[in-house]
Amino acid sequence: KGAPTIVSMSSDWMHTLPLVEAPKRPTTSGRLLIFVGTPGKYLSMCIRSNRGRFDDAYKENRLVMLCRGVCMLPLGSQEQNVFGVDSEAVLDAIARSVRNRGAVFWGHGPGTKANLMQKAFGYPSPEPLPAPLAFDGDAGGSSHSFDYLVQYVAYLNKVKLAKPSMPVLNFYDTGLLVSVMQGAIAESGVSM
């Protein structure tokens, strides 16, 4: 620690990787927060994501968002949306600035970067196949009505890790029940 810059993947991005437990997330309070990508308010709400972090950074005038062709940034006491920016050039300038500041700290903890990057960009070797999924007991008495669903999604993530070349997909629609379901899965630490 002690590095002037922390780099981490947002929770929204983490839900695109097959994970069976939530990775460590760095604290961002008091720091300039640069978000690269398209922030989805609805998905962010469903998975109880970075809304508090974004809201705090926005209120404290330290949030910068870079999307394709648009950059939102604080300028003095106001927010400015700059349209028509060359996103790649801005991202290159941010990367150069970060390198010039000194050491960079990987925010998800020591020894986790290679594992997360392999899940994002390809696997050197697959993990073993999980045992067939079997549910025990009666779901009717569970105080967590989505426990079996969470176990099913975790199982599918293990299948994805064992068979990276085979398409294994979860499909989600929108609506109140689906929103609650996504929140239950995200709260458990399993990625969608």
Q: Which amino acid does the sequence have at 48?
A: R
- Closest by alpha carbon to 29, among 60, 5, 7? 60
Please give the pLDDT value at position 130: 92
**8-state DSSP, 38:** -
Please give the pLDDT value at position 6: 83
Contacts of 129 (CB under 8 A, 6+ apart): 159, 162, 163
pTM of this structure: 0.62
Instruction: Judge whether 145 and 167 are in contact, CB under 8 Å.
Output: no
Going from the C-alpha of 133 to that of each of 137, 144, 148, 156, the distances in angstroms are: 13, 19, 10, 9
pLDDT digits (tens, 9 = 90+) for 57-74: 777 888 787 777 778 777
| 176 band by pLDDT with thresholds 50, 70 and 90 | low
